[in-house]
Amino acid sequence: MRWTKAFIPTLKETPADAEITSHKLLLRAGLVRKLAGGLYTFLPLGLRVLRKVEQIVREEMDRTGALEVLMPALQPPEIWRQSGRYETAADVLFKVRDRAKKEWIMSPTAEEVITTVAAAEINSYRQMPVNFYQVCVKFRDELRPRFGLMRAKEFIMKDAYSFDVSDEAAMVSYHKMYDAYKRIFDRCGLQNFPVEADTGVIGGNYSHEFMVPAETGENEVVYCEACGYAANIEKATSGIPKTAPREAGAAAEKFPTPGVVTIDALSKAPYSVPANRQIKTLVFIADSKPLLVLIRGDDQLNETKLVARTGAVQVRPADVKNEADLAHFKSLGAMPGSLGAVANVPSDWTVLADDRLHGANDMTTGANEDGFHLRNVSIERDIKVTKWCDLRTVSAGEPCAKCAKALKIRRAIEVGHVFKLGTKYSEKLNATFLAEDGSRKASFMGCYGIGVTRTLQAIIEQCNDKDGIIWPTLVAPYTVCITPLMVGADTAVMKLAEQIYAELSAKGVDVIIDDRDDRPGVKFKDADLVGFPIRVGIGEKSLANGEVELKRRGGQLVLVKAEDAVAKVLELIASASN
């Protein structure tokens, strides 16, 4: 390719609305352009990278025996109603109507569609295991599209769906995908690691996310360097001890605490109740039903865990400004700050308590009377807990549950997600088969997603320096950039440049020649900004000694004999780590 024909609109200035490095570089290197928030056009160079990432994904999927298909982007709402996700996933669904006013859903994912296919086509155990995948545009009505391709309204996802005859067989399919994901992200040149994950609205019972460490990532990952434990903070647990039991005190006792409505205020004189002897009582509304949540005063509630434990579609904190919610506070008898679960809790309310409070006594909590608290509270004795569960957020430094070493926390970008689904979708959409023993069973499913466009941007977020992108070799838009510093048609410089270009092209190398009649500084800056892995610089001075410049992006410049240039470039490509 010739630069003058390639359409590479690089930008000197950083676009004002790009917040993170990779988003800025996507725009500055001329890879994409924004149409509207969360919607981007891939320009020729960006599309080349996208195709290369897709190629890696396809090769690794094919290698596992998964079969590529292509499902419609418009999906009938009926199958979403059947699976139950018409309601549970409602907030991200883009819906359109046709001329007959019939509603359609623009695919955010395709469990319902593929399960419909399986219901009709997979009738015998002999047809499994089978895994179908596709690489196509998905649509999600994100609350906050941002950071360029990272969280877009429309993005490219590889989604795969496995069907198996049993739970054990499904586990084998799951691990095949897990291993393939590792290879995909490694080949993309990404530092990446799998973590245990929450299963969210998709449902299911076992899941891992593939994470790319990055300060700008939207996820927090809890990990242990000693034993390798790693989990999304939405799922992570630690070996932190339960609340130390004390001498069981007398009955709970009410005492006045005028104006005290925070854990912090109660921990100060004259009350001096340490936060770890306080119970925080929170009111939530889960699918329009009130719910009490109890966690220790020094702990933070994890709302994702709360949603998972309730199994509700919508969970939100109760709000005193909302009239219906206010009635709930009134039935307890107090406003936030004086709430508790010892007295006045209506019998039909659910009370969820965090495991760390199990067996705790000598605790202090709100008295459900404004301006009063209760001390000497023994949870087991004084509170009717509906369900004990893990609700707290792990903090850095807590002991690992597996090996007791201190846990760490880092931010990361989720680039892929694998789920074991069980029979949730196959039962609802009647994807059953005739088993070997003659019985009819629902098939055991797994689903596996990779954000292809997010992965592309994650590569940039991880591989860059002050001058621009540093593409890993396998995904670079062009592997080699030849930069003649004088472009007149019959100069020796240009002749050699054309010769090397022709030879590398003939060897199948993706090569671009910067044939612009521009200053060397401009050309070098652009080559670094776009981030081609290898640059061949050809100038009059070095050529007078029969030499050309060879430079790996981010590496040292070396002079090589002009006649060795092609061989050296091929060596560099062969020795690239990905």
- Which chain residues interact with ligand ATP by CB under 6 A? 109, 140, 142, 151-152, 155, 157, 414-417, 449, 451, 453-454
Kindly tell me which of 424 and 454 has the beta carbon lying closer to ligand ATP: 454
**Smallest distance, Å, CB 451 to ligand ATP?**
2
Rounded Cα gap, residues 365 and 266, in angstroms: 10
CB 452 within 8 A of CB 458: no
**Smallest distance, Å, CB 381 to Mg ion?**
42
Contacts of 98 (CB under 8 A, 6+ apart): 104
**Smallest distance, Å, CB 263 to Mg ion?**
33
**Smallest distance, Å, CB 112 to Mg ion?**
17
The tokens describing 248, both together, are 């069981």
Kindly tell me which of 174 and 501 has the beta carbon lying closer to ligand ATP: 174
The reply to whether 417 sits near Mg ion by the rule CB under 5 A is yes
Kindly tell me which of 277 and 417 has the beta carbon lying closer to Mg ion: 417
> Which among 142, 139, 160 is positioned nearest to 151, based on CA atoms?
142
Kindly tell me which of 211 and 301 has the beta carbon lying closer to Mg ion: 211
Which of Mg ion, ligand ATP, none has residue 473 at its interface (CB below 5 to 8 Å by kind)? Answer: none
Which of ligand ATP, Mg ion, none has residue 140 at its interface (CB below 5 to 8 Å by kind)? Answer: ligand ATP
In 168-251, beta strands by DSSP E: 193-196, 206-213, 219-223, 230-232
Hey, which residues between 321 and 340 contact Mg ion (CB under 5 A)? Answer: none
**Smallest distance, Å, CB 234 to Mg ion?**
10
Residue nearest to ligand ATP as judged by C-beta position:
451
Neighbours of 242 (CB within 10 A): 13
Which of ligand ATP, Mg ion, none has residue 340 at its interface (CB below 5 to 8 Å by kind)? Answer: none
Which of ligand ATP, Mg ion, none has residue 454 at its interface (CB below 5 to 8 Å by kind)? Answer: ligand ATP
Kindly tell me which of 140 and 375 has the beta carbon lying closer to Mg ion: 140
> Which among 350, 351, 382 is positioned nearest to 367, based on CA atoms?
382
Rounded Cα gap, residues 161 and 158, in angstroms: 10
Rounded Cα gap, residues 96 and 102, in angstroms: 8
Kindly tell me which of 332 and 415 has the beta carbon lying closer to ligand ATP: 415
CB 162 within 8 A of CB 422: no
Neighbours of 322 (CB within 10 A): 12
Which of ligand ATP, Mg ion, none has residue 427 at its interface (CB below 5 to 8 Å by kind)? Answer: none
**Smallest distance, Å, CB 22 to Mg ion?**
19
Strand partners of residue 422: 445
Terminal CA-CA length for the chain? 23
Residue 343 burial (10 A CB sphere; 0-12, 13-18, 19+)? middle
Kindly tell me which of 152 and 480 has the beta carbon lying closer to ligand ATP: 152
**Smallest distance, Å, CB 392 to ligand ATP?**
21
> Which among 487, 564, 476 is positioned nearest to 527, based on CA atoms?
476
**Smallest distance, Å, CB 333 to Mg ion?**
41
Kindly tell me which of 417 and 424 has the beta carbon lying closer to Mg ion: 417
CB 105 within 8 A of CB 154: no
Contacting residues toward Mg ion, per CB under 5 A: 417
